Amino acid sequence: MKRQKLLSLVRQAVERYGMIEEDDRIAVGVSGGKDSLTLLMALKELAGFYPKRFSVCAIRVDLGYGNTDDAKVRRFCEELRTELSVVPTQIGQIVMEERKEKNPCALCAKMRKGALVQEALRMGCNKIAYAHHKDDFIETMLLSLIFQGQFYAFPPVTWFEDTQLTVIRPLMLVEEAQVRGFCSRYQVPVMKSPCPVDGATKRAYAKKLLAQIQRDHPGAKERMFHAITEGRIPDWPPVRL
C-alpha cells in the first residue's frame, strides 16, 4: 500500500467519526509492531496538512522482558521528529512469573493500558490513538460472538470520564494486509513481539478463523465489517459524514 492510500483511509476514518479536534495532543501507543508504527507515521504526516491543528507524541510501555531493543523505535521517532517516552515496567514478570496467569492477555492489557494512560496524562495529552485495524475489529466481533454471546466490537472513539481521555482508532478502515504491505514498501523498522504467548492466544485463533472464512467465502470479511459499522453497537458514536 502506498503512503497516499494509507493517509486517505486514515483521514476517512478520522472525519467519519470526528476523531480529531483543534489543538488535540495525541499519544500513540507504540509497541514497535507494524500496526503502531504505521499509525504513528500516518498521524504524524496527517498533522502536517490536516485543517484542524493537532500534535502527536509516542509512548512505548516496556513490559520488562529484557530481550527488546528500543533503538529501532527511537531512531524511527527521531526521523519522524516525534517525541518518544519509554515507560519501564515489570508487567511481563508480574503476569508470567509471579501471577503465572493461564490466560495472561487480559491482565497484561489492563496493566499496559494503565501505564500508557498515566504517561499520556503526564505528557499533557488529551487523546490516545490505538492501532487497531479493520481485521482487529472483525476478530473482536468474532471473539465476542463465540465466547461472550454478544455482537460487539470496540468503538472508533471512546471517552473515559475518569481520566478525561479519549481513545481513537484511526486505522479502522485499513486492512492488516495493507499495513503489512506498507511496512514492506517503506521499510518500517518493525520489532518482533517479545511476548512468550504471541501466536497462541484467542485472538490468534480468531485471526486464523477469519482467514479461513474469507478463503471459503470471498468478500465475507468486508460484509462482516459492514455489519459492525451498521450494527448500532452500543457506545459507538454516530457517523459525521
Instruction: Report which of residues 74 and 93 the model is more confident about.
Output: 74
**Residue holding cell 505528557?**
123
Has residue 198 got a pLDDT over 70?
A: no
List pLDDT tens digits, range 42-62: 999 999 999 999 999 999 998
SS3 88: strand
pLDDT at 8: 98
Q: What percent of the chain has pLDDT over 70?
A: 91
Can you give the pLDDT at residue 31?
87
Confidence of residue 97 (pLDDT cuts 50, 70, 90): low
pLDDT digits (tens, 9 = 90+) for 181-197: 999 999 999 987 766 66
pLDDT of 235: 87
Backbone angles phi, psi at 100, to 5 degrees: 50, 50
Range list of H helices, the chain: 3-16, 34-46, 71-80, 91-92, 105-122, 134-148, 176-185, 202-216, 220-229
Q: What is the mean pLDDT of residues 118-129?
A: 97
Beta 24-29 vs 157-160: how paired, if at all?
A: unpaired
Provide mean pLDDT across the span 95-115: 74
Mean of pLDDT values over 91-110: 70
Domains in the chain: ranges and CATH: 3-229 (3.40.50.620)
Residue 93 clears pLDDT 80, i.e. is over it: no
